[in-house]
Amino acid sequence: MFATGIENSIPTINHGKTRVDQMESSGHYERWREDFDCVQEIGINYLRYGPPLHRTFIGPNQFDWEFADLTFADLRRRDITPIVDLCHFGVPDWMGNFQNPDFPQLFANYAGAFAERFPWVQLYTPINEMFICAVFSAKYGWWNEQKKDDRSFVTALKHIVKANVMAMIEILKRRHDAIFIQSESTEYYHADSPAAIGRAEVLNQMRFLSLDLNYGRRLDSGMYEFLTDNGMTREEYHWFLEHRLKQHCILGNDYYMLNEHRVFADGRTVAAGEVFGYTEITRQYYNRYRLPVMHTETNLWEGPHGDEAVKWLWKEWANVLRLRNVGIPTVGFTWYSLIDQLDWDTALREQNGNINPLGLFDIDRKIRNVGKAYKQLIADWRNVLPASSVCLVVPIKKLSEHDDHDAAGRDLDETRLAGE
């Protein structure tokens, strides 16, 4: 699966007073048809895409589907398969933030309503980058609740992951062959000195918390104590163990230049740049969860020479090929995003209107060098890969094959991607 995405982050800043809406900043609400034209120009058949949660979910069991109806009908007409991103770093104002204990049930209701309305959709990322969402909202104090303590972080994390699992349950009730491509940031922490080894080890365990809970994996003792010391009850922990839907999932691994960190003895961390790289870090995640892998996000600024992003594309693609060639089932690659992003140079903490040249197309919808390179890469490799290395057949139904009168699809046992 060759993919891209429409950036749809919606966190709040300034203690909830300001909504950062990337679809609005990029002009997508007005230019969505043009954006879908750009997807087709590259030759991409899979698009990470989702309706804006804060505009669609307008109250408990109240939905405004107008924009979703327009855009998803057009995607279906074009035969572009959406990987539906239902929650991307924020919630509607009426819901508050991720400290709200009602969030899991409310979000599950929304996911069920979406799946009911769009029964032809098969691929989902219910909540994007759960770990990053909890860290930036309740550990760093950047977004949404803007908390900076362990208890708030654990509260956000357990609510976010429970909401994700409950959403999967509701979607599967309506589409039994749904597949969940769980996009998560793949991290690694390097000790700067012997004195920093202990701190780095803790952080390298903590990076797995969202996926451990999501996949119902028993935690290591240190992480179990961390969660329970900061408000998670034994009953809450066992809920995750008892709701294990791993067999319906693909491991979506995001990797950027900033995903590796240098840890100092005093606890400070700074970006380390690319040290191990995507292949090694993804191998660590694969060995832990034993699920098929998809590279679900990467990008780099175009740079002063105009070829920096092209070189990064080639490097990340080489990493994907290496994974496949060593026997790790790898089913897709994504350059994120389609259009340039705004204000990610400050992690969306400020609204400066800074255009970040990260897209396949610039903000005026003119193709960038990396867009041309990705188009050629897809043309070169699309028909070669199935015969060239270990290949997993993912049971994805073509949009043209979907029967609206049989939304449930096949029995659960027929859609398993990986043995338990």
Distance between CA atoms of 219 and 238, rounded to whole angstroms? Answer: 11
* The pLDDT of residue 392: 54
In which residue are the tokens 């259009």 written? 339
pLDDT band of 55, cuts 50, 70, 90:
very high
Check pLDDT > 60 for residue 411. no
Instruction: State the pLDDT confidence band at 390, using cuts at 50, 70 and 90.
Output: very low
In sequence order, the β-bridge partners of residue 331 are none
SS (H, E, C) the chain: CEEEECCCCCCEECCCCEECCHHHHCCHHHHHHHHHHHHHHHCCCEEEECCCHHHHEEECCEECCHHHHHHHHHHHHHCCEEEEEEECCCCCHHHCCCCCCCHHHHHHHHHHHHHHHCCCCCEEEEECCHHHHHHHHHCCCCCCCCCCCHHHHHHHHHHHHHHHHHHHHHHHHHCCCCEEEEEEECCEEEECCHHHHHHHHHHHHHCCHHHHHHCCCCCCHHHHHHHHHCCCCHHHHHHHHHCCCHHHEEEEEECCCCCEEEECCCCCEEECCCCCHHHHHHHHHHHHHCCCEEEEECCCCCCCCCCHHHHHHHHHHHHHHHHHHCCCCEEEEEECCCECEECHHHCCCCCCCCEECCCCECCCCCECHHHHHHHHHHHHHCCCHHHHCCCCCCCCCCHHHCCCCCCCCCCHHHHCCCCC
For the segment 323-327, the average pLDDT, to the nearest whole number, is 94
pLDDT reading at 394 higher than 80: no
Residue 406 confidence (pLDDT) above 60: no
Determine the average pLDDT of the residues in 321-335. Answer: 95
Looking at residue 386, what is its pLDDT?
A: 59
The answer to whether residue 204 scores a pLDDT higher than 70 is yes
- pTM here is 0.94
Residues 112-148: tens digit of each pLDDT: 999 999 999 999 999 999 999 999 999 999 999 999 9
CA distance 47 to 41: 13
Closest CA to 299 of 259, 349, 326, 354: 259
Say if residue 412's pLDDT is above 70: no
Residue-wise pLDDT tens digits, 167-180: 999 999 999 999 99
b or e along 362-372 (b: 16 or more beta carbons within 10 Å of the residue's beta carbon)? bbebebbbbbe
**Mean pLDDT, range 312-331, rounded to an integer:** 96
- The pLDDT-based confidence of 409 (bands split at 50, 70, 90) is very low
Residue 400, pLDDT score: 73
Compute the average pLDDT of residues 236-245.
98
Mean pLDDT of 389-393: 51
- The CATH classification number of 2-415 equals 3.20.20.80
Q: Above 70 in pLDDT, residue 420?
A: no
Mean pLDDT, the chain, rounded, equals: 94
- If pLDDT is split at 50, 70 and 90, which confidence band does 393 have? low
pLDDT at position 240 is 98
Confidence of residue 399 (pLDDT cuts 50, 70, 90): confident
User: Which pLDDT score is estimated for 289?
Assistant: 98
CA-closest candidate to residue 335, choices 360, 315, 306: 360
Structural domain spans, the chain: 2-415
**Mean pLDDT on 76-95:** 98
User: Residue 100: which of 40, 46, 43, 144 has the closest Cα?
Assistant: 144
Share of the chain above pLDDT 90, in %: 90
> Do 196 and 264 contact (CB within 8 A), yes or no?
yes
Is the pLDDT at 405 greater than 70, yes or no?
no
Tokens of 45: 């058949």
- 388 pLDDT exceeds 90? no
The answer to whether 46 and 83 are in contact (CB under 8 A) is yes
Q: Per-residue pLDDT tens for 257-303?
A: 999 999 999 999 999 999 999 999 999 999 999 999 999 999 999 98
pLDDT over threshold 80, residue 41: yes
Instruction: Average the pLDDT over 141-157 and give the result.
Output: 98
Give the pLDDT confidence score for residue 402 in this predicted structure: 73
Count of beta carbons in the 10 Å neighbourhood of residue 380: 9
**For residue 69, what pLDDT is reported?**
98
Amino acid occupying residue 86: L
Question: Cis before residue 337, ω within 30 degrees of 0?
Answer: yes
Tokens coding 401: 């094959």
Whole-number pLDDT of residue 383: 83
